[in-house]
Structure 1
Amino acid sequence: MRVKTRYFGEVDIEDTKVIHFEKGIPGFEQYTDYTILYDIEEGQEAFFSWLQCITEEGLAFPIVNPFRVDTSYDPVVEDALLKQLGDFETEDLAVFLLATVPADVSKTSVNMKAPIVINTRNNKAMQIIAENNEYQVKHMILEEQ
C-alpha cells in the first residue's frame, strides 16, 4: 500500500508492516494503524526511527530503541496488561521509546516510563506504563550520546 508521509513523501508499506494499536496511543486514540520507518546512517540504523500513522500523513512520532539509551533497560509490567497483545514469546516483543525533540535539540528526551511494546508475531501494539520508579517520562538523552 502507498502511504503519504510528512517527512518521507510517499512510501510503499507492506500490509505485514502495519502495526495496530487497539486503543490508539494516549492522546491520539482515533489513529490506530502505524508503521515504523527506519532511517539509515552510513550503513547502520539511525538513532531515531519514526512511528508513522498510515491514515494521517502529518502524524509521526520519533522513536528510539531503548537499549541505545540504557543497555540495562528492563521495564516491569503487569502480565495481565501484556495479554492484550495476544500470544507471544519474550523474543516476539519489540520495545521503543517515544522521543521529544524540541527546537533546542540539547533538551531532547525519551519517555522511559511509558514504552511502546509491539508483538511482532501479530503486529499488535500498545503503550504501557512501567512500574519501575527509576524510569522517568522525560529522560534527557543528549549528554548520554
Structure 2
Amino acid sequence: MKITTKLFKEIEVDEDKLIHFPQGIIGFPELTDFLLIHDSESEGGIRWMQSIQEPAFAMPVIDPLIVMPDYNPQIEDDLLQPLGEITEDNSLVLVTITVPHEIEKMTVNLKAPIVINGENRKANQIITEDDRYAVKFPIYQILKDNMERAGE
C-alpha cells in the first residue's frame, strides 16, 4: 500500500510493519495505525511515528536510553497486558519529542513512554506514575554532546 505523507511524500507501506495502538495515542485516540520510519537525514537516533490514517501527522520519537541511560520507569503489568507477553527481547520503548521554534528547547516526554511488542506489533502509550520522570525533559544539549562524541 502507498500513502502520501507531509514529511516523506509518497512512501510504500509494508502492512506487516504497521504498529497498532488499540487505544490510539494520547490526544489522538482515533489514530491507531503507524509506521516507524528511520529517516536517514535525522541525527541522534531520532525516528518518526507516521500515522497511516492521517498522512499529515507524524511525530518524532527516540529511544529514551539515548538521552537517559538509566531510564527504567515502573509500569504496572495490567497496562502492558493488552500488548501480549512483553520481554526485553521483544519490546521497544520510545518517547515522543517536542521540537519548538527554538530548537535548543527541545524536550522528550519521559512520563508517557510508547511500549511496542515487536512480535505482534501492538503498542500502547502509557502514562507512568513514576515521579522520577518529567513530561518535558530537555534533550538538545544531550543530543549535541552525543553527536560530538560520535564524530557526527
The TM tier, using the shorter chain, reads over 0.9
Matches within 5 A, 1:35-114: 35-41=35-41, 46-114=44-112
Given that residues 47 and 60 in structure 2 are in contact (C-alpha distance below 8 angstroms), is that contact kept between their aligned partners in structure 1? yes
SS of 1:143's partner is helix
Normalising by structure 1, we get a TM-score of: 0.92
Give the CA RMSD over aligned residues: 1.5
Q: Deviations over 1:6-56 (max 9, x none)?
A: 101011111111011101012111111001111125xx9753111000121
TM-aligned CA distance change 1:30 to 1:16, over 3 Å: same
Given that residues 36 and 52 in structure 1 are in contact (C-alpha distance below 8 angstroms), is that contact kept between their aligned partners in structure 2? yes
Equivalent residue, structure 1, for 2:32: 32
Equivalent residue, structure 1, for 2:4: 4
Residues of 1 paired with 2:96 and 2:73: CA distance?
A: 14
Equivalent residue, structure 1, for 2:137: 139
Q: Mind listing any 5+ residue stretches in structure 2 that lack a counterpart?
A: 144-152
Runs of 4+ in 1 over 6 A off after TM superposition: none
Indicate the percent of aligned positions where both proteins have the same amino acid: 41
Normalising by structure 2, we get a TM-score of: 0.88
Q: Mind listing any 5+ residue stretches in structure 1 that lack a counterpart?
A: none
Residues of 2 paired with 1:124 and 1:54: CA distance?
A: 15
The aligned length equals 143
**Higher strand proportion, which one?**
1
SS of 1:11's partner is strand
Equivalent residue, structure 1, for 2:124: 126
